[in-house]
């Protein structure tokens, strides 16, 4: 992944949206409002499959696994899990919080923001999500994710973090 690459996993009625171009700016992802079969698209406003999805840090298979993990976590917990992978402007925490605020239903949202090139990971929880996922729970998930990232497994780390956060949140 080059310094200019960024990926926001967006789930919409069209499914998973792959890597966003740098000219698009950072985009957080949001939950599936109407679950359906995921399709890969480069732009949320386009519906044709995007071969460009393979240019980001995730393979098509990894994107599908991440989308499924977010969908399951959303359904089991009633929260909105989102993932952003890309550069985060300084101050990093504030940028992650700004991305989180852009998610529809942000009080129920949990954002995992990862910048591999900066070696930064932020987990932002909304006011309602925070009642079910403590700072300690988020830190434990972050430690697990960081261990996977250090081993070169970006997708596995995100999947692990999603699973741990959803488990801590419990069923709704």
Give the residue extent of every domain in the chain.
Answer: 6-169
Residue 110 CB neighbour total at 10 angstroms: 31
Question: Do residues 113 and 87 lie in contact, with contact meaning Cβ atoms separated by under 8 Å?
Answer: no
Work out the pLDDT band at 7, boundaries 50, 70, 90. Answer: low
Per-residue model confidence (pLDDT) at position 171: 86
pTM metric for this prediction: 0.71
Residue range 69-117, pLDDT digits in tens = 999 999 999 999 999 999 999 999 999 999 999 999 999 999 999 999 9
Q: Percentage of the chain surpassing pLDDT 90?
A: 66
The structure tokens listed for 111 are 């954002």
CATH says 6-169 is which class? alpha beta
From residue 85, alpha-carbon distances to 8, 99, 114, 170 in Å are 6, 11, 5, 25
Average pLDDT, the chain: 78
Report which of residues 25 and 124 the model is more confident about. 124
Residue range 118-152, pLDDT digits in tens = 999 999 999 999 999 999 999 999 999 999 999 99
Per-residue model confidence (pLDDT) at position 54: 53
Which range, 26-30, 43-47, 54-58, 136-140, has the best average confidence (pLDDT)?
Answer: 136-140
Per-residue model confidence (pLDDT) at position 6: 54
Beta strands across the sheet bearing 15-20: 15-20, 6-12, 80-86, 109-115, 120-125
């Amino acid at each position: 992944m080059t310094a200019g690459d960024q990926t926001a996993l967006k789930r919409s009625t069209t499914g998973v949206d792959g890597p966003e171009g740098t000219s698009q700016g950072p985009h957080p992802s949001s939950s599936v409002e109407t679950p359906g079969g995921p399709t890969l698209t480069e732009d949320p406003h386009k519906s044709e499959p995007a071969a460009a999805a393979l240019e980001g840090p995730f393979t098509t298979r990894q994107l599908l696994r991440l989308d499924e993990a977010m969908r399951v976590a959303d359904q089991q917990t009633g929260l909105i899990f989102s993932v952003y992978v890309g550069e985060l402007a300084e101050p990093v925490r504030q940028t992650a919080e700004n991305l989180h605020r852009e998610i529809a239903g942000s009080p129920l949202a949990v954002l995992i923001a990862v910048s591999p090139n900066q070696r930064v990971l932020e987990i932002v929880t909304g006011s309602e999500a925070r009642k079910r996922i403590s700072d300690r729970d988020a830190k434990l998930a972050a430690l697990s994710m960081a261990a996977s990232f250090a081993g070169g497994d970006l997708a596995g780390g995100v999947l692990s973090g999603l699973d741990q956060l959803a488990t801590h949140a419990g069923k709704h």
